[in-house]
Structure 1
Amino acid sequence: MPAVASAAEAPPAPAALAAKVRTLAPSMTRSMQRVAEAVAGDPAGCAALTVTGLAELTGTSEATVVRTSRLLGYPGYRDLRLALAGLAAHQQSGRAPAVTADIAVDDPIADVVAKLAQDEQQTLADTAAGLDTVQLGAAVGALAAARRVEIYGVGASALVGMDLAQKLQRIGLFAHAHSDAHLAVTNAVLLRAGDVAIAITHSGSTGDTIEPLRVAFEHGATTIAVTGRPGGPVAQYADHVLTTSTARESELRPAAMSSRTSQLLVVDCLFVGVAQRTYDTAGPALSASYEALAHRHHPRTARQGTPTP
């Protein structure tokens, strides 16, 4: 189960509450899910209820309501009620995002495009709203100073890992993405303090991704988890956890689709943050790579003074 947010942490803004519920609900107990679903479904109505009233409405206990409030990042139920009132005001003003409808088998292609676009926009907004920028900054700092970077992921997450590795390589970092579990573990054994290992797993429980991160963690490397389940098994081996969001899964819209979108946002944030911190070297490296690609695309103009056949 995810760790309860400490009282020292700033509670999420009202606009981020719905995203927080969508992200954490799958890992909650069933009774806590009922509370979370109630506050997300009717923030205005729940904001008017006492802790006892919400417990009665959801068929739970006052203790469950308080625990759910804290899990969502609020010191207590009173703070959650204030956030619910703010979220209700957003919805009434028309600024709150609508929940997209599932894609049907007989949907016209134009509707498919519109629904997928809305789904991805919602996923990106939820991820941005729920991303812990303190954790992100610490992860960027570790990457900027890293001797080497190893990235682990399987399936769609492996593709995201490859994307990050290629970006980091272009600014001069020694980075490698692994999709083979055996190679990932054998490389993780060689990591030490000053190295960074990144695990990308939406479920937070992918064994082939967790195992190399565990090995890297135990050998002293700084470890980062990019996951949609911040309370999942991967988190116990992560120094820094970056939480992604995902839309509701359906038959024609598997979780891998929207989780990939949110993962790409997070790795882009990591890359840009590292490029900013290492700009003295990253800037020239990017310029050199752009120039090399331009010469490859236009070989006849690459050599000045050479006549065109």
Structure 2
Amino acid sequence: MAWNGAPDAPPTVRIAALVPSLARGERKVAEAIAADGERAVDLTAQELADAVGVGRASVVRTAQTLGYEGYPQLRVALARERAFAAAVPEVAEGSLGVVQAAVDRFARALPHTAAALTEDVVEAFVAALDEAPRLVIAASGLSAPLGHDVAMRLTSAGRPAEFLSDSLAQHIAARHLGAEDVLFVISGSGANAASLHAADAARAAGARVLALTAFARAPLVSRATTALVVPPVTDSFQDELLQTSRAAFALVIEALVEALVVRRGPRGRGAREATLSVVSDSLGE
């Protein structure tokens, strides 16, 4: 399975989304490119293969898996991405420096957050959120807070949504969905066992499955009716496992709810006004 996301997505975004599922040789090539894109631009396919310790064919296959005709086209795309990359700002020492570095890293990745998305996939995703008679959210582990967040945001937008914090309860709710209903699964890795069980239960019930994940070849993607891939903001798959940031997911969820409100027109605006009225009444002096 080669890259099938947005055609203008830069190489680092494609690598972040695909690297966990690449074959060993291709993964070594992709990780070497991600670690030092400037060097990769200056190397031929054979030179990169020698540096990584694989055959030249692995370099060519990697480029093709990433969606390029060959390695020369990947080199051009790398050069273009680096030419428009923002400079890395200096940060302070100590804990403040750690915080600043993390924020700056996210800021640099932010322009690529939606780079893997395509218009038809996003439209289908938002339409399913809008039209489903019943909408259940499934999210476990570090994605669980996002389950609470999206359920509240959708409900506030006039689109009732259910989130049950217990993973078994999510599984049971998914199994009771109908053919027109939707299960919305949020999983950074796309391989969380509880989330996969819920997705399988929903499919067995004939329901549609929407997925939000970081990796294009994750097991969850193959189970989803429609999947949104938001590549991790970390520098490598190892960093993603250690840091497991969900900041980009939170941003995309907010944007999806806004798209839903716009799609609903007067209904969406009316729901937002009703929500603001309730919020206003709840505020004290």
- Interval of TM-score (by shorter of Structure 1 and Structure 2): 0.7 to 0.9
Gaps of 5+ in 1: 300-309
**Residue 58 and residue 133 in structure 1: after superposition, are their counterparts in 2 closer, same or farther (change >3 A)?**
farther
What is the TM-score when the length of structure 2 is the normalising length? 0.87
Q: Tell me the distance in 2 between the aligned counterparts of 1:52 and 1:215.
A: 47
1:290 to partner: Cα distance:
0.3
For 1:237-257, what per-residue CA distance to the aligned partner results, in whole angstroms no more than 9, with x for missing partners?
Answer: 111221221314889x9423x
Residue 130 of structure 1 aligns to a residue whose secondary structure is coil
Pairwise CA RMSD = 2.8
The reply to whether residue 29 of structure 1 matches residue 16 of structure 2 is no
Q: 1:177 aligns to what? A: 163
Count of aligned residue pairs for this structure pair:
282
Residue 199 of structure 1 aligns to a residue whose secondary structure is strand
For 1:115-136, what per-residue CA distance to the aligned partner results, in whole angstroms no more than 9, with x for missing partners?
Answer: 2311332343332333344322
2:6, 2:118 within 8 Å by CA — same for their partners in 1?
Answer: no
**Residue 100 and residue 238 in structure 1: after superposition, are their counterparts in 2 closer, same or farther (change >3 A)?**
farther
Q: Tell me the distance in 2 between the aligned counterparts of 1:42 and 1:108.
A: 26
For 1:259-283, what per-residue CA distance to the aligned partner results, in whole angstroms no more than 9, with x for missing partners?
Answer: x101112211221111111122110
**Residue 4 and residue 195 in structure 1: after superposition, are their counterparts in 2 closer, same or farther (change >3 A)?**
same
Q: 1:4 aligns to what? A: 2
Residue 184 of structure 2 aligns to a residue whose secondary structure is strand
1:11, 1:74 within 8 Å by CA — same for their partners in 2?
Answer: no
For 1:35-79, what per-residue CA distance to the aligned partner results, in whole angstroms no more than 9, with x for missing partners?
Answer: 113333443443344433333332222331222112222233332
Structure 1 residue ranges, 4+ long, deviating more than 6 angstroms after superposition: none
Q: Tell me the distance in 1 between the aligned counterparts of 2:44 and 2:106.
A: 35
Letter of the 1:225 counterpart = A
Q: 1:110 aligns to what? A: 96
The reply to whether residue 286 of structure 1 matches residue 268 of structure 2 is no
1:248, 1:255 within 8 Å by CA — same for their partners in 2?
Answer: no
The reply to whether residue 165 of structure 1 matches residue 151 of structure 2 is yes
* Superposition map of 1:70-89 within 5 A: 70-89=64-83
The reply to whether residue 18 of structure 1 matches residue 12 of structure 2 is yes
Letter of the 1:4 counterpart = A
1:198 to partner: Cα distance:
1.2
Q: Tell me the distance in 1 between the aligned counterparts of 2:154 and 2:137.
A: 11
For 1:183-232, what per-residue CA distance to the aligned partner results, in whole angstroms no more than 9, with x for missing partners?
Answer: 11211122122211111111111111111111112322221111122212
* Superposition map of 1:216-255 within 5 A: 216-244=202-230, 245-248=232-235, 254-255=242-243
1:151, 1:161 within 8 Å by CA — same for their partners in 2?
Answer: yes
Q: 1:96 aligns to what? A: 86
What is the TM-score when the length of structure 1 is the normalising length? 0.81
Larger Rg: 1
Percent of pairs with identical residues:
30
Residue 128 of structure 1 aligns to a residue whose secondary structure is coil
1:204, 1:234 within 8 Å by CA — same for their partners in 2?
Answer: yes
**Residue 60 and residue 11 in structure 1: after superposition, are their counterparts in 2 closer, same or farther (change >3 A)?**
farther
Gaps of 5+ in 2: none
1:141 to partner: Cα distance:
1.4
1:198, 1:225 within 8 Å by CA — same for their partners in 2?
Answer: yes
